[in-house]
Structure 1
Amino acid sequence: MIVPVWRPGLAAGALAVDYQRILALLAGRSSPGGETVSCQELAAGLGLEPTSANIEGRVRSPAKRLTDRGWLAEPVPGRFTLAVGPAADS
């Protein structure tokens, strides 16, 4: 799945549904620079079984991709929050 680099005016709707679900979950649970959420917490919030395959393949990898593209921030390894720009646009 292609994840566009975040830029002002680009809405989460430009992302695939799985990525939108991660953003929506983080929008409800954290704030930029505030509380962070672990991959295990994200998996549970998405209703996924806490297996290694789900956490790595369906949570950690997409979250890292969103971080690389500016949608999320990872202030502590393995813990994610919304990046400042996307949070301001939401």
Structure 2
Amino acid sequence: MSSLIEELHRREAAVREEAAGLRREIDVLNERLAQAEELLVRLEITRETVAEILGEAGADHMEAPSVTVPVRVEDAEPVSVESAPASPIGVLTVPPWRPGIAVAVLPRAYQDLVEVLVDAGHPLRADQVAAAAGLSTDKSKVEGLRTKLKRLVDRGWLTEEGPSRFTAAGRKDAAESSRRQREQGSSL
């Protein structure tokens, strides 16, 4: 009988050792999985950003007509800025903010983000902005949105209050003006 109990102990120890080895393998695989998922998110964001840049600049640049964008600078007459067809590489789609410039000069997607933050009246995180704008709240999409918000902060359209809390303080007049212009254009 003692030999049977010894055999059970031996088998139990072997299975414990095998289970420990499998746990180590799982840990290694979990680490590799986390790295692969992180890389995947970064690649998705990069692809989306490139598609956005190319889409905003126009897929058919050589045949695109010139566009005149009205820009109003404080204490100056209204002026027009000509935007000629060009390669999307190096295109500045979000101009720096300055007094008197309207939100209408921003690409539509950026106008929407500024308006969401103006309407909120308080700082929002990127996922809250996505939800308020009716955009996807998937992690990769929110990271792409965070990139846009950071770009708007860098160019002076938004401010960042604390880590990743965005607000449109001081830009309400420009966003309201842009919204009124769009509403008047749609009612004509």
**TM bucket, shorter chain:** 0.7 to 0.9
Question: After superposition, where does 1:4-83 map in structure 2 within 5 Å?
Answer: 4-30=95-121, 35-57=122-144, 59-83=145-169
Structure 1 segments unaligned to the other structure (5+ residues):
none
1:67, 1:73 within 8 Å by CA — same for their partners in 2? yes
2:130, 2:136 within 8 Å by CA — same for their partners in 1? yes
Deviations 1:14-49 (A, max 9, x none): 00000000011111101xxxx210111001011122
Cα RMSD of the aligned pairs, angstroms, is 1.3
1:37, 1:79 within 8 Å by CA — same for their partners in 2? yes
- Of the three residues 42, 62, 87, the one matched with 2:172 is 87
The SS at the match of 1:9 is: coil
Q: What is the Cα deviation at residue 88 of structure 1? A: 4.4
Please give the alpha-carbon distance, in whole angstroms, between the structure 1 residues aligned to 2:133 and 2:107.
Answer: 15
Identity of aligned pairs, percent?
A: 38
1:70, 1:83 within 8 Å by CA — same for their partners in 2? no
One-letter identity of the residue aligned with 2:132? G
In the superposition, the TM-score normalised over structure 2's length comes to: 0.42
Deviations 1:56-87 (A, max 9, x none): 11x20110000000000001111100142x23
Greater percentage in helix: 2
In the superposition, the TM-score normalised over structure 1's length comes to: 0.85
Higher relative contact order (CA 8 A, sep 6+): 1
The SS at the match of 1:37 is: coil
Greater percentage in strand: 1
Structure 2 segments unaligned to the other structure (5+ residues):
1-52, 54-92, 177-188
Aligned pair count?
Answer: 84
The SS at the match of 1:61 is: helix
Q: Which moved more, 1:60-69 or 1:40-49?
A: 40-49
Please give the alpha-carbon distance, in whole angstroms, between the structure 2 residues aligned to 1:75 and 1:65.
Answer: 15
